[in-house]
Each structure stands twice: as C-alpha cells, then as structure tokens.
Structure 1
C-alpha cells in the first residue's frame, strides 16, 4: 500500500476558489467531468500545470503577495516524488486528506509541462527593488580588464559623479583618482599628483599618475544585510582639506605594473572617479556558506549562462562585467531578494551635524571630540547608523572609540559581550565580516541584560570610565578642554556608543543611567511615525535636560532620526528571512573560523585584512591546552552548578576567557606559543601524582561575577574536552597566543554554539558517514533522532536505499514525542522553526 500522502499547507491565492481546472495538450473545448478526489501531490501537480499553461499577465500587488508567500521551489526531489506517487494519487481512498486542499479536478497527462514548470518557478521573481540597481553601466570605454591565464584578475572602473555601483560578494577596492563613498566612508584617490608649492591635487594624465603607494579597502557585501553601494562624489577644496590622510602601503612592483597597464588604457580625465577592483575571495569568507546550508548564497550568486549568440554588444559587455571577478557580483538589473543600502535624508542631516560640530567657525578642529549616543527601539536601524557615523568620523579622526552596549547584535564582537574598541580602519561590511579585538571587554553571558541588569550596567560604566581615563585621558567630556597632550592623536579621539533596543521598563532605566554617566555631547534618537510603540517615551527629552541642569553640565544636542523599521509597507525588506538568531550564529561562526595566525591580534601589520579558514571543521582542529592550575577562578552565570558537577557543565560549552585588567609589565618573549600536548600525571602543589587539582570555582549566589574593575575579557573559546589528570582544558579559540598567556579565568554564560559547529561540513568527502571520520553512532554529545521505521535497529546494517539522511547519515530509530521529521528545509538548529 502506498504511503499516506502528506498534507500540504494551503496559502492565500489570487483566485477566489481553490478549484483547479486543467487544460490538456490535445483539446481546450470543455472541462473534464468530475472525478474521484485526488491526493495532495496530485493537486500540487495540477496547480503547477495550470500555472505553466496560464498566459502571462501584468503582476498585481495581490499576485506579488501570493508569490512571496507561496515560495516553494520544486527541486529534483519533489519532481521525483511527483513521478513516484503518480499511480497512488489517482487510487487514493483517503478523502479526508484532500478535503481541505482541493474541491476537485482531473489528472493531467502532460508530463512535459510538469517537468518544465520547476525551472519557471525558480525564475519567477519574488522581490525586486528598482532602486537597488547600479546606475553605473559598463561599456568598453569605462571598464578595463586585466587578465592572467585567460581569466580577469583585476578591473579598472571609471565613474562619473553620481553614478553608483551595487554589488554582492567581496572585493578589494583601490581608489586611484577622485573620491567615492562606501558605507559612509569617503575613499580618496592616492594616485593624483600635487603641483609644486600647492596643496591642491591636480588631475593627471595616465602617464603622470603616482602609483608608488596605494590604499586598499576590503568590502564584504552579503545579502543578509543591505548591500554595499559605491558612489562617485565630488568634494570642494574645503571639504578635502579636513579629510584625514588614508593609510597607504608601498605598491608591490607586480601590482604597480598591472595598474600602469590598466590606467594606460583608460582615459582617466573623462571620469570623476577611477578605482581598481580585485577579487577578495582569497580571504576565505565565502566558505561560511558551506558550514550552514541556510546561509548558502549570501555572498555568492549563480551565474546563468545567458550568452546564446544573438545578444547585442551592450548585453555582452554587461555579462562580461558581471562575471569578471570571482566573488564579485555587481547588480546591474533588478534582482530577486536584493536591497541596497539607502541613507534617508534625516540620517544624512544628522551625520552632517555631527561632522560640522568637529570644527569651529575657522574650520579648525575643536579641542573637545564629540561623544555620541545612538538610542531607540528594536529593528530601527541603530546598528547601521552607528556604523555609518563611525566610518564618517574616521574621515576626520585617525582613531574613533566605539562602545557596543547591544549585547544581542554586537558590531565587532560575538553575542554576549560589551566592549570598547579603538577603531582605525573603516567597517565596510556586515558585523560578522569585521570581528576585532577589543581594547577592553566584559562577558555578560546572555543576549539580553534582563537577567542581571546590575552587572551589565557596572560593565558599561567601567568601559566609559576606561575611555575617559585611558583613551581620551579625561574624566568626562566637559573636562576635555583642560587636557593637552603632546600627541595630537591622543587629544582627539571621539566616542560613539550604540545602545540596546530595550527601551521599556527596566531597559529605559538602564538607558537613562547610561546617559547620566556618559555625559554625551550628541544624542541620536530614533523615531518611527508608523510604529509608536518602538519610540522613546515623550518624557525622554525633558528627563535628559533636567539631568544636565541638575548636574550643571552643558545640555547635549538632540537629533531625531527617522527609523527604518523592517516590515513597513514603505520599506519592504528582502532579508527579513534572516532573524537576529541567524545574525548571532553568523557572528559566532565567523569569529571561531578566523585564521589563528592572522586572526584577532595575530598580524598587526595586516590588521585591515582578516582571513578565515573554513577548510577544516571546528571538530577537526587541533585545540590549545589551557592549564587551570594557576587559574584565578571559574564562574557559571545564571545556573546553580554543584562543585562536583562543574567539569560536566563546562565540557563542550562556550566560555569567555578573562584576565587581569592591567598587565603592562608582564614578560612576553614575543614568540608564538606552541600547542602543548597532554602530559602524564604530575604532582601539583605537593599533591600525590594522579590526584586531580580542583578548580577555583565561585558558585552563583555565593559569589558575584568577575568584578569589572579588576578584570577584562580577552575573547571566547569552546571547551572541546577536559583532561582532569593533567589539569587542562582543551579549547578552540581565535585569540592570539600573546593574549592567551594573560587569561586566568573562565566564565560560562547562557550562550550556546550553533549546532553546525558540532558537525563536519566536509563529511561528503569522507569515507565514513559521521563527524571527522567518527561514525554517527559513536559521536558524543550529539543525537539525531529519526522517525521509527526509517533506519535499521542494527547500527552495523547499512540503511536501505532512500532511507539514508542526506546530511546526518543514519541513527537508531529512537521514537519519542517530537521525533517526527520537522519541516525545517535546511534550517537545522533554528529554534523558532522547531515546532
């Protein structure tokens, strides 16, 4: 007896009824007579056939809504399911399974239309934004290609003022002439010569360009966020004079020769901006798509073979430009589920007001650098706005301090950390594309401060105190005029604080405390006309004003910014499919897959160049051995763990590595620390050999968390295993060896690694189905439950054909409540889908 057909969820369609009428390939005269009820698969086939034979018509808003809701890609598996169940669909006698899905219909014999329909379904556009398209159009006059071994390795682009280039993927941008912007940062050409005795740059011919030094800006543009936009702009002389010189490096001889070859073929005097683009796929970030199937396609795009021999020259030029560099995908026409970054006018006005406050009426930089606080509700664009003003301020200051208070959506660190950063290079990408080692940080241990608001506030205040005392060398913003440093850079380091989106109840009280302690010069408040519940309370302005008057301080400048709320009809967003939990998973995976040699603090000279290594899964990597003999303490936040169970609680968990606040006089041999191997049991502190040295454990409730006044967090780690006989924790971490030497504490919170960190994304190339060559039945701490009857009870017996899981192999048929297959569709590990 064929298996029972699976029910299919009915979505709202543009038609008023759900009756399906089928037109055969031989006649269209009359509808067939009513037949027996059909199964869900047959109804689905008839719907596909109807769409295949239906003439095209202009799309309506209702039709677009239907397309967005009923987004079901018919892949090879579904097509095979249709063919295999063809005989059972017409003979099915379980009418109750179809009563909710169809009113009647006839079986179609037109298999050719059925097999052709899946491709049409994939080609149908669900979301297209005409404004998210490049206004730059490639031609043979404004684009020059440099090819090595037959494939382009670099592209030189000439743009006129106002033209934009939207792209997905990753690329290295080398500005040569003119000015352009990307994510708020102004990139200046470094190849323009100066007249003798003049400070103004002059436009030089191709043979007069100065290519001795260049600036390179890695830009990573994933579709999980709004795509990056490069725009050609023109700056007046006064605007150019206040720009801080960009960091440049000597041009390698080979690269210099390549740039000279490209510039000699482009009439640079005809364009306002000229820059070169190289592929940045060697950084390794594209490998994150292999680790989590959900993130497949966030950086890469499928290149369709559209050259059929009858395209005109313009079309051929566009196709060549789109496929010119690996990992670089320009958006030259409306594309499904693509949205580019657009800056509202209120954002531009607010950023310009902040920039204007950095100079006086004589265009001289003011002595007091601004201290800005960005506040507002959730999903309003605070993080994006903070990133934009950070990049804009880097055009005025060599260094900008940044305090991240949003522990659920951090900009430079993984989830659960509040951190102070001193930024010197722009953040040109989504948060997971630019993790950085903080100047000082604390591990709160959760994605929200509601479980321990006092400790959260103590950590934030300590970061503000660190900024005033160690970064700007003052106790508050009001005292900046009284401090004068011999180094002008230390005298001018502004501060930007990005706050959390919790502005109700206790969250609002935390925000008021932060503003009272910070004494900012500018407050950016997000306001949404359509979503009043996410706005700050009406008393917010008066409360801050009264605080300043009572303390005798200068009142801050209030700048209200229009919110960009996801889900508004006026701002449809194609990346709403990625939720905050997905962004946190991206940040964690990006953090732990950083290359240890060039990762956080690994290579100071290439601090602007991050490298990821996704060739090996985390479970395969060789861990560090951390000796707890000299550890000052172990903390477990939010959970009561008996001392006898502490090792079990720490095993296979995500922890923070902490150290003392100041270690300036610690001896550092400067060499890299080799990975130590487990040693035989030795005596410790006079204890007999073989005796386990207990950890210094501070149970919750009896002791507070690590005091922020005396500690700091160096980074996160995964405890892969514990060897009590040698007092070692085997950990995986991207923290540099110089920082690992300073770690003397471990803190476990409520943050957990995504399930994909425990899997082996290279198992398809392994001879053994499992993780790192270990069969699934022997993999510890990981249990995959399958419906009963799917797998054999005998682990040694191979599964029957078609019963093997495409991802997790086979497992014993443990049948418990909730073990039925869940409709997650490559979304393994997303809690909100496990229903």
Structure 2
C-alpha cells in the first residue's frame, strides 16, 4: 500500500495541536472534530481526506493515530522549508526560529500584511508587534485593505552610531537657503560608525568625510584648528530614504591625515565640541518637499504598500529630540518593513580597479586617466542591482569629474523620467534617493510609450542612436566656446589632463557617459544589447552574472551558486575593461513592490511634481481630477498642435480618434521641422503618418488628456511640464502609446470615506467613466478597477 500523502498545511497544524492535547491528557486516540476544522466545504473535504489517510496508516501499523499525525505534520513542514514557505534560511535573513502554536494559528486566520505596522497614537510598538523580537515577523494587522506578504524585520537596517545627547548629538537651529530657521541635529561620529536615516532630510558635512551610496561627501577644511570654527555653509545634499527601497547607511570615513587634538567646533548655542574623539561631524536638517503626500494617494487606492513610505504615523511629533526631526528619523533598532542597502565588496573593488584615480586617493595603477574617453555600460538580467550599481558608479565618477552623463535605456524602470522614455541626462550632484524622488526634465529624451522595446525594436535603437549622437556632439566636450564641428573633430583624441575644477580638483574638460540597460538579456534582448555596444563603443562593461538557484526562489533555502568576480583588462579582441560582478543581495522588498507598483509610484510622483527651484518639490493638496488643465487649440492657424500620433494606431479610424484619446496618457514632443499631414481633416490626425524622427525631435514629458471640446477645437491637458517650456516649444506633437493612467491618479484622495463610497467628485460610481466598482464584501472596501480594455490588455 503506498504511503499516504502529507496533510494540508491547515489540517496538519490543527491536527498536531489536537494530538499534543490528547497526549497530555492520556486520552483515547485522537478523534478529529469536524466543527473545529471550519465550516467551509473546501476545508471540510480536505479534513475528511486527511482523516481517511490517518486511519489507513493506523491499520498498517501499531503506531497511534496521534503519532502518525505528528509525523505527517513534520514532513509537511520539512517540505515547506524546502519550498521557502516555512522556517528555511534565506539569502537575506537567517533561519526563522520556531513560533508558538498561537502565533502559527494567526497565520490561518487572516491575510498577513507587509506594510508598516504602525501603532495607534499612545501605544507602544510592542503592543502592535509582540512577535517581532521572537520570530522576526510581526503580528498581522486585520484592518489592511490589500493582502500583502508577511512583514519582515531586517536586522542590518539599523544605525551603529551610539547616540549620547550632549556628547555626540546636539539639537540646533540653522538657517536654510531661504533664510528661514529650522530644526537640525549635529551628529559627531567615530570611524566606521553608521547612521541609517528614514525619511527626507538634508545632509551637510561639518567636519571630515562621510560615504553614502558610493559618494564621498566632505567638509571643506577650516582655515585654522587653533580656534573654534562655526558650522560651514557647504552645499546641503537632499536625502530621500523611503521604505519602498533599501535604505543606505551613512558611514564616517577615517581622515587621510591625523587631525589636531585641539580642534573644536563652535555650535550655535555657544558650546564648543572637541573633535579629538571623532572623525566626522554631519548636520542633519528637516527638508519640506511635500513628497510625503504620496502616501495619501496610495491609501485612497487601497494599496497598502504605499502607506508609511517616509515614516510612521506620529514620528513627526518628536521634534525636540535628537533622534529625528519633523521629516526624518534615525533608525536605532530594526523596524518592520525597513530593509537596508547591503554593501557589496566586489562592486567597490570594481570601482577602484577600473576607474581613473580620485583626487582624494593615491594614483591608481590601472593606467586609466581622467582625460581618456570613458563610456561605461551596466548590463545584466532583472533584479540584480543594475540601477543601484549605475547610481553608485555615477556618484563615484562625480568625485573625479565635474559632470557625468547618464543614458537610460531601461523603458520599464528609468531613473530620471516616467516609464516609456529613453533619456540622456547630465548630472553634477550625486544621486541620493530612489528614482521617483528625482524625476526631472532631461537634456534630451525619446518616447516609445511602452515598458519593453519588444513592440518596436527598430524605433528603440533609433532613439538610442540619436541620444548617443547628442552626447558626442553636445556633451562629451563641454567647452562653451567650442562649435559642435570642432567637438566632432576632437572626438577620440586625448584631452589636456591639467584642466581641472579649481575647487575640488575634478576634471572638467571631458564628460564620461554611464549607460544603464534593460534586464532583457536573451533572444531579441541580447541582439539589442549587442547593437547598443557596437553603437556606443564602450571603454568599460560592468556585467552582472545571474545566480543559478536550480529553479528555486531567491528567498528559499536552496544552495546558491555564487558567480566568480573578475576584471579583464582591455585586449585586442575586447578593447574595454570587462568586470563580471555578483548581483546585489536580494531584498525582501521585491515581494512587496512589483514592477507595476514601482511604475505607478513613478507616475504618481511625476504628475504631482513641481518644477520650480533647485530642490525637488511636490503638491498633493489637490487630486489630479481637481487640477485646472492647459488648453491646446488644435486648429492649424493657432500653431499649438502639430500632429497627433497613436503608436500601433493603424486600427484607430479618424472618426474614432477623439474617443481613443480622451482620458489617455500622451507624450509632448517637440519637432524641429514637423512634416505637414497629407490628410485634409480638421483634427491633425493621420493614421498613416510616420512618427517623429528621433534625430529631429525630443520629448518634453507626459500629459493626461483631461477632456476634449470639439465645439471649441481644444484639448485640455494636465502636465507638470512648466508653462514656459510649453510656450517656447510650440507647436507640439502628441504621441499616445500603450501606457495607461494608473488607477490611483483617477481617484480623489481628499474625499472622506463616506464620499469615497458614493463616487468621485460628486459623480456616482455608476456614472464614473473608465472605472467600475465591485461590491464590497462584508466590511471591506469597494474594489475599483478599469472597465475599459485598451489595445494589448485584452
């Protein structure tokens, strides 16, 4: 007779508890009570089958039914451990300790939430998550709207800084760039001490140097250490550290030479701080940008992953303490749903072995000079850390060069634009935050409208080729008095290595290029990558080697084949540095934030962003449906709209184009010489017209067609592109691609719960266009979904 299969997870745990109770009471063999195992028909059938298996097993052996149930439950838990469902060790955390039966029973009773488990005001965290310290998991929250995975606690996401108020931490008042005073904290760090900060703040090095995301931020040396020196007016670096991405640590770097033991820092209060025990002092201040309002948008849409991005509810009340401010908080102990950015030693070695020497470091022995042409490609499959590595590479290069160019060819997860763009950006400041916190207007960009180049590989390559030409002609040699033809003549020739920025010793005669690629590395994706290499002629290739896991998940207990790290110098066959790099340690956030969620995060941030001032800012006081749109007159004599294009729009007839455009996302494209349409229709749409050529056009950004008024021949557009840019770029072409507006941007996040149950902006749900609402189950929230299937969604 074949061995019975293991019990289901629910039945096994309940049967094991019944068996233990029976053994303790010295009762008769276990009799399973059907009523205790639930009233659902599916669960009842599973229990009946398990009882039958246990009964068959007892007929073949003298072992009691209780022992059989225990053995089957143990076997099931062992299998779950191999599949990553139970107590197995993972690549990110250690093995989970065993939990009590009461904690395990909670897993059966509710959906477990991966969001922040913030306690109600007035309660301590232990009342909300009593199991966090024992098992590494927090108690589930029953009131969440969206089912998430188990909350996690990363033991590495914590500051090693030993805070002692009045000794190495001081609350001060400082003046911002606008002249207004604001609260700040001065931290004095010893060598290799780290700060982990969650939220939004500015960092100002006061003494010594700190390392953050591959960038070294240093304070200018004082003129003299004989007298106390005040807080310097160095550039304030904005830092964005939300819980949606791994949080980097701020590390104090040892000084290159010993500091005088008599050095002291004069605080605004008049107190003098002796710098003898410390290697670095940093000033952390509040930064009001409005980005915290993005949590309201996700909360209104029932997306629990976006709740608590920048801090727990109530943390902003701790304004008089040295543990944080109004917009940020120091992470002093591991917290649920916070993951730290792990350092990879091989990445650091690749920087020092292949890049030109830094002004702060001794001359490198790799023979690379800052005057040499430097074009670096970062390649590899998905979820290996390409974007993080490219960000750190840019920060490293900014220590050596005054400016760095960044070519982003990842359509799905770009760094400086919303999804659907390839773009060329020129950077002069380090990148200290995730992509959605520094979306900007690039130097040049092209719009494809899709998250993948599979639908238009030729257009994808043409767009990249145009951006590479822009880099070669306008960016690589930044001399303002040099004509493009002269720059073309100098391309490939060595520059004068003696010309450097006078302040920091950074090279300013040549601008290096970093190319971030997509994660599609097989089939057509490999062909596109090969053509990109042939077109760009890289001097450095940083290639991530995928981890072989025998088909297992990155978070289970499988043995991982760690790839070998190596650096190959240039040769006759491969005239570039080739660095084979291991992937970044997997983050548990990957199971909480999908690629679609991250694209939604980027689009919500983009459409609520403000483009005024040096620092990024957002306005979440009004939902998108309440913002006053721009009016664009499509009549030819007005000169505001040149052409309207629909990607893959051959099936959209002219008489249906207004219906296809209404409520859609379009790109605003400036053409140097738009081709006149052969059609004689009033509306500037011709299904057979070619898309704008990448060599004679550039995309300015995205817009939402709020509404269309045929009576006045106007399109009503919502866009964060400044009005001055729109006016100077007219006439504009509009391109509609497969990209759709995410549902959170269609809702009113300012409405009360009662108003949200009735509809949007006074319109009942039955009359709301493009959306439908499923009936609520019990006390649950209504589920909003699309009722309009566009091309490619069916």
TM-score (norm 2): 0.71
**Given the alignment, which residue of 710, 715, 719 partners 1:729?**
715
**Given the alignment, which residue of 247, 264, 288 partners 1:227?**
247
User: Which residue in 2 is equivalent to 1:563?
Assistant: 583
Q: CA deviation at 1:175?
A: 1.4
- Give matches, 1:391-410, under 5 Å: 391-410=395-414
- Give matches, 1:328-347, under 5 Å: 328-347=328-347
Q: CA deviation at 1:628?
A: 2.1
Q: CA deviation at 1:432?
A: 0.7
Structure 2 contact 201–328 (Cα < 8 Å) conserved: yes
CA distance 1:73–1:662, shift in 2 (3 Å):
farther
- Aligned partners of 1:515 and 1:544: how far apart in 2? 17
User: Which residue in 1 is equivalent to 2:147?
Assistant: none
Determine whether 1:129 maps to 2:154.
yes
Structure 1 contact 408–447 (Cα < 8 Å) conserved: yes
- Give matches, 1:496-645, under 5 Å: 496-530=514-548, 555-564=575-584, 566=586, 573-595=588-610, 599=611, 602-603=612-613, 606=614, 609-629=615-635, 630=639, 631-639=641-649, 640-645=651-656
Determine whether 1:761 maps to 2:774.
no
- Aligned partners of 2:108 and 2:513: how far apart in 1? 47
Q: CA deviation at 1:781?
A: 2.4
Q: CA deviation at 1:69?
A: 12
User: Which residue in 1 is equivalent to 2:769?
Assistant: 780
User: Which residue in 2 is equivalent to 1:40?
Assistant: 38
Q: CA deviation at 1:17?
A: 5.8
Q: Which moved more, 1:269-278 or 1:582-591?
A: 269-278
**Given the alignment, which residue of 271, 279, 284 partners 1:272?**
279
CA distance 1:319–1:519, shift in 2 (3 Å):
same
CA distance 1:491–1:70, shift in 2 (3 Å):
farther
Structure 1 contact 661–709 (Cα < 8 Å) conserved: no
Structure 1 contact 528–564 (Cα < 8 Å) conserved: no
- Give matches, 1:672-751, under 5 Å: 694-699=682-687, 702-741=688-727, 742-743=729-730, 744-751=732-739
Q: CA deviation at 1:652?
A: 0.2
Structure 1 contact 525–558 (Cα < 8 Å) conserved: yes
User: Which residue in 1 is equivalent to 2:492?
Assistant: 479
SS of equivalent to 2:431: coil
CA distance 1:71–1:722, shift in 2 (3 Å):
farther
User: Which residue in 2 is equivalent to 1:453?
Assistant: 457
- Give matches, 1:232-381, under 5 Å: 232-236=252-256, 260-261=267-268, 264=271, 266-280=273-287, 282-293=288-299, 294=303, 295-302=306-313, 320-322=321-323, 324-356=324-356, 366-381=370-385
Structure 1 contact 224–575 (Cα < 8 Å) conserved: no
Structure 1 contact 358–369 (Cα < 8 Å) conserved: no
Gaps of 5+ in 1: 1-9, 45-56, 78-115, 196-202, 239-257, 307-316, 567-571, 664-691, 791-801, 812-817, 820-828
Q: CA deviation at 1:194?
A: 2.5
SS of equivalent to 1:558: strand
Q: CA deviation at 1:271?
A: 1.5
- Aligned partners of 2:335 and 2:392: how far apart in 1? 25
Deviations 1:6-60 (A, max 9, x none): xxxx984796664544999xx989799865524638999xxxxxxxxxxxx9996
Q: CA deviation at 1:321?
A: 4.2
CA distance 1:721–1:384, shift in 2 (3 Å):
same
Gaps of 5+ in 2: 1-6, 44-86, 89-93, 114-125, 138-151, 175-180, 259-264, 478-486, 502-506, 555-559, 675-679
- Aligned partners of 1:459 and 1:450: how far apart in 2? 14
CA distance 1:696–1:343, shift in 2 (3 Å):
same
Structure 1 contact 655–748 (Cα < 8 Å) conserved: yes
User: Which residue in 1 is equivalent to 2:424?
Assistant: 420
**Given the alignment, which residue of 191, 209, 219 partners 1:179?**
209
Q: CA deviation at 1:411?
A: 0.5
SS of equivalent to 1:283: coil
- Aligned partners of 1:162 and 1:486: how far apart in 2? 34
User: Which residue in 1 is equivalent to 2:393?
Assistant: 389
Deviations 1:531-589 (A, max 9, x none): 59999xx9xx999999x76xxxx8111111111263xxxxx534431111111111111
User: Which residue in 1 is equivalent to 2:659?
Assistant: 648
User: Which residue in 1 is equivalent to 2:83?
Assistant: none
CA distance 1:573–1:36, shift in 2 (3 Å):
closer
SS of equivalent to 2:390: helix
Deviations 1:392-444 (A, max 9, x none): 11122221100000111101111000000011222101111111110000001
- Aligned partners of 2:182 and 2:499: how far apart in 1? 49
Structure 1 contact 376–501 (Cα < 8 Å) conserved: yes
Q: CA deviation at 1:501?
A: 1.0
CA distance 1:342–1:16, shift in 2 (3 Å):
same
TM-score (norm 1): 0.68
SS of equivalent to 1:632: strand
- Aligned partners of 2:538 and 2:337: how far apart in 1? 39
Structure 2 contact 759–768 (Cα < 8 Å) conserved: yes
User: CA RMSD of the aligned region, Å?
Assistant: 4.6
- Aligned partners of 2:200 and 2:547: how far apart in 1? 36
Q: Which moved more, 1:269-278 or 1:514-523?
A: 269-278
CA distance 1:261–1:390, shift in 2 (3 Å):
same
Structure 1 contact 145–262 (Cα < 8 Å) conserved: no
CA distance 1:204–1:404, shift in 2 (3 Å):
farther
CA distance 1:658–1:232, shift in 2 (3 Å):
same
Q: Which moved more, 1:393-402 or 1:65-74?
A: 65-74
Give the total of aligned pairs: 644
**Given the alignment, which residue of 220, 223, 236 partners 1:194?**
223
Deviations 1:136-192 (A, max 9, x none): 1211211111379xx9921111101100111221111121111001111111124x4
